[in-house]
Amino acid sequence: MTDRDSSRTPYVANEGPHPWRRFVAVGDSFTEGIGDPDPVAVGTHRGWADRVAEVLSQDVEDFAYANLAVRGKLIAQIAETQIDAAVALRPDLISICAGGNDVIRPGTDPDEIASQLDDAVTRLSTTGAAVVLFTGIDTGFTPVFRPFRGKVAIYNENVRAVAERHDCIVADQWALKTIQDMRFFDDDRLHLNALGHHEVARMVLRALNVPNDLQAMQPEPLPMRTWREARAEDIGWAREHLVPWVLRRLRHQSSGDNVTAKRPEAVPYVHLDDSETGQN
């Protein structure tokens, strides 16, 4: 089924080029693009927001894009360090995906997290820009995060309520069944890989009603593994990714400590075509 045929998100094309000239993205690792290494700028990440900006930039000559997101940030940190900076850039399109790192922490309250989101969106709304909010992904497919599925669902309902209050656009990850498949995730099993970010970009553009040429991408079939091989892979994952993640929590550290925004200023977006980089 193509985007135009989807009954989940009806396709309604803009009558002309999209109206946005200045896109600012705020959030955490999801919006920074972790899991999707940029093949052009080695050591940096691309992600869904860069992919959306690339499409939007094709329709207008004076388009500019900033990405203030930093990995590992909690919603209070995003509110403290990114919201005023986003407002100062005078955007007419803003995306904010925040609260995911809070929701998966034991003992947190999804209602309180959503209250902080509401405060942030209230501040962003002063710009008069269109604001895009994200629901969290349905974690029922992954054993590691399945226990948080109920909290994510509650938070999502709050996100939709915030969107209703502030007339925001909702990018619905919960309904994006395509990425509920570990082949769309990085080796850390937490962040989306290039395939996953590509599918999220397609979903966001659909929510914005922006026509585009992005096509669905199919992952490679999963290799056949014995129980012993799967177990060894799980142990390797725990050693490389889970244990460091837990230790950072115990030490009150973050993967985003000493990391700055990759695109702090709204500037024209330029990226080589995938065909030029050999990427799919």
**pLDDT value at 229 more than 70:** no
pLDDT of residue 230: 57
**84: closest CA among 47, 28, 127?**
127
Task: Give how far Cα 29 sits from Cα of 3, 6, 131, 166, 268, Å.
Answer: 26, 29, 19, 25, 22
Q: Is residue 231 part of a domain?
A: no
CATH code of residue 121: 3.40.50.1110
Could you tell me the pLDDT band of residue 41, with boundaries at 50, 70 and 90?
confident
**93: closest CA among 269, 266, 262?**
266
Q: Is residue 280 part of a domain?
A: no
Residues 122, 112: Cα–Cα separation, whole Å: 15
pLDDT of residue 143: 84
Q: Is residue 241 part of a domain?
A: no
Boundaries of domain holding 32: 3-218+261-274
**pLDDT value at 28 more than 60:** yes
Percent share of the chain, pLDDT over 90: 64
Q: Is residue 209 part of a domain?
A: yes
Q: Is residue 254 part of a domain?
A: no
Could you tell me the pLDDT band of residue 155, with boundaries at 50, 70 and 90?
very high
Q: Which of 2-11, 85-94, 188-197, 250-259 has the lowest mean pLDDT?
A: 2-11
Residues 15, 20: Cα–Cα separation, whole Å: 14
Total domains in the fold of the chain:
1
pLDDT of residue 276: 41
Q: Is residue 251 part of a domain?
A: no
Residue listed under structure tokens 């994952």: 237
- What is the secondary structure of the chain as a DSSP string? --GGG-SSS-----SSS-S-SEEEEEESHHHHTTTSB-SSSTT-B-HHHHHHHHHHHTT-TT-EEEE---TT--HHHHHHHTHHHHHHT--SEEEEE--HHHHTSTT--HHHHHHHHHHHHHHHGGG--EEEEEPPP-GGG-TTTGGGHHHHHHHHHHHHHHHHHHT-EEE-STT-GGG-SGGGB-TTSSSB-HHHHHHHHHHHHHHTT--------PPPPPPP--HHHHHHHHHHHIIIIIHHHHHHHHTT--TTTT---SEEEEE------HHHHT--
pLDDT of residue 11: 45
Contact (CB, 8 A) for 172 and 139:
no
Q: Is residue 248 part of a domain?
A: no
Residues 56, 17: Cα–Cα separation, whole Å: 9
Q: Is residue 181 part of a domain?
A: yes
Residue 263 bridge partners (DSSP):
67
Instruction: Quick: pLDDT tens for 127-149.
Output: 999 999 999 999 999 888 899 99
More reliable by pLDDT, 34 or 227: 34
